A and B are shown apart, each in its own frame.
Chain A
Amino acid sequence: MIQLIGVTKTYPNGVGALYDINLHVGKEEFMFIVGPSGAGKTTLLRMLYKEESPTMGEVIVDRVKVNNLTAEQVPYLRRNIGVVFQDYKLLPKRTVYENVAFALQVTGTPHFQVRRRVMQALELVALLRKANSFPDELSGGEKQRTCIARAIVNNPPILLADEPTGSLDPTTSWDIIQLLDKINKRNTTVLVATHNKSIVDGMKKRVVALEGGRMIRDQQLGAYSGERLSNA
């Protein structure tokens, strides 16, 4: 589903963010990308939806070479990739329903489909009863659920989450990760960048660890740090 071949990214200001990353993520996978702040997790995710382009190497998403896409084609790539952020990026003057519907309206979804699909997405994230609330009336977990609903409302095959639990308490964080897992089980490839140790350890999913822009570990059924596994 996702493939990175020898990907290196140096920002225009000379900062090297990623070095020679080789990675393959299958269709049904749920994968964590871990590493300390500045390791390059965000940069890696941004390259998948062409918010950044690699300096060297190849990024392939759903058999499409992302490097070669023109500015006119990029929007269609992004309709296949939902993205979730630590800071939610919700529109403050729109309700939960409107925030989710926005993603459909601006991609030209026929009017008669919008309501049904928004309701389905809100049901999936268990937020139907908050449909008419505004973002500042929501708890952090509810905001993140809204953000997730918006990311999946048009059923993308891929969902990326960049520090989705970064601003949440442990219990809520765990709920959110469970939700992402549920979405993964509905046939969506899920990549989660995080430095939340307990979550990664609790999920026992594939873990790719970055450090200083280099991939230092790629483990199935992994944990946040390598040592723990060597203890086991």
Chain B
Amino acid sequence: MLSTLTFFISESFISLRRNGLMTMVAVGTITVSLCIFGFFLLSIINMSNIVSNLGTKVDLVAYASQPLTDTEAENVRLQISRIDGVKEAKWISKDKAWKDFKEEFSDRLKLEEIVDSNPLPDTFFVKMLNPELSAKVSKEIARISLIEEVGFNPNLVDKIETLVEAFRIGGLMLVFLLSLATLLIVVNTIRLTVLARETEIVIMRLVGATRSFIRWPFIIEGIILGMLGSGISIVIIKFTYEAIIVRLQNALPFVTLFTNHFWIGCVYFLVAIVGVLLGMLGGYISVNKQLKEEN
């Protein structure tokens, strides 16, 4: 058993070396495809992450139509917080809003010179449980009496989500096409070995080697190609991603990029699995063609 395995593996390495150039082309193609696949997965993870963060940060802001007493304000706040999809609602009295506003902009504007009375209404900040419901919730808040208007662009999150969805679908198509192209190249590479070893296959069949025995060296050859390709691409993805994260985090500090090691580890794992599977499948297909032609 062990001697058989050693036989297979040494045979595979011999033929990979014999087809040096084609082996490099195949490993290169697998690497490129897997890098694109890996970055696609990382982008998806990051976008989902950003969108869900967006959801907790994008608040609805509701403005009262007239100055409110404390009881009226508490009443409105309760009505808002009872709406489905609302996490919490917070009341900022018009006085506090005016004070905050003045504090924030005091160094840039001399507001008192322009407006001497407080122009701001009582304000409710609304935190959402689920950003997808924003549009619906904002309509319901607008229906509450004493609420004048709800400030928030209800389409923004929708638009981002549509964008992410389009990216996801487009990316999946790209990944699929790339896998197909990679598979073809792997099949062709191993096909060269199959052809170079045609006499050997004929003799193996003649002396009674089983079909699976004949297949294994080629499948192992595919696995080796896949492992080389995915190893290289994981290294590339790791270093590039880390470099990108550092730069992006500096340039866009308000966007939280994904650094959770578990999920990033999952991406690497997936890249490795896909690489090895592509190689295996390629090996299987190329030798099976030969076995079908006879018999």
Contacts and interface: CB of A to CB of B under 8 A. Distances in A.
A106 B209 contact: yes
Nearest to B202: A89
Contacts of A26: none
Contacts of A108: 4, 213
A106 to B, nearest CB: 4
Interface stretch (A2-10, A28-36, A76-84, A122-130): A76-84
Interface in A142-200: 150-151, 154
B200 interface: yes
Contacts of A76: 208
Interface residues on A, range: 20 to 34
Interface in B201-226: 202-211, 213-214
Nearest to B4: A108
Contacts of A77: 208
Contacts of A80: 208
Contact of A89 (B7, B199, B213, B295): B199
Contact of B295 (A71, A102, A105, A151): A71
Centre residue among A74, A76, A151 by max chain B CB count within 10 A: A74
A133 interface: no
Contacts of B202: 89
A64 interface: no
Contacts of B206: 49, 78, 83, 89
B3 interface: yes
A106 B199 contact: no
A110 interface: yes
A72 B207 contact: no
Interface in A60-77: 71-72, 74-77
Contact of B211 (A71, A89, A154): A71
Given A108-B4, A110-B3, A72 B203 contact: no
A106 B207 contact: yes
B208 A91 contact: no
A45 B207 CA distance: 15
B215 to A, nearest CB: 12
A111 B203 contact: no
B72 to A, nearest CB: 84
Contacts of B295: 71, 74
A223 interface: no
A72 B210 contact: yes
A89 B207 CA distance: 12
Contacts of A49: 206
A164 to B, nearest CB: 15
Interface in B1-34: 2-4, 7
Interface string B149-190: 000000000000000000000000000000000000000000
A106 B213 contact: yes
A215 interface: no
A139 interface: no
A91 B199 contact: yes
Nearest to B295: A71
A37 interface: no
B196 to A, nearest CB: 10
Contacts of B199: 89, 91
A106 B205 CA distance: 9
Given A89-B199, A91-B200, A110-B3, A103 B207 contact: yes
Interface in A83-135: 83, 89, 91, 102-103, 105-108, 110-111
A154 B206 CA distance: 13
A109 to B, nearest CB: 9
A79 B3 contact: no
23 contacts: A71-B295, A72-B211, A74-B295, A75-B209, A77-B208, A78-B205, A78-B206, A79-B208, A83-B206, A91-B199, A102-B203, A102-B204, A102-B207, A103-B207, A105-B4, A105-B7, A106-B204, A106-B207, A106-B214, A107-B208, A107-B209, A150-B203, A151-B207
Given A89-B206, A110-B3, 14 more contacts: A71-B211, A71-B295, A74-B295, A75-B205, A75-B208, A78-B205, A78-B207, A102-B207, A103-B207, A106-B213, A107-B207, A107-B213, A108-B4, A108-B213
Give the top 7 A-B pairs by smallest Cβ distance, nearest first: A78-B208, A79-B208, A111-B3, A106-B209, A103-B207, A75-B208, A75-B210
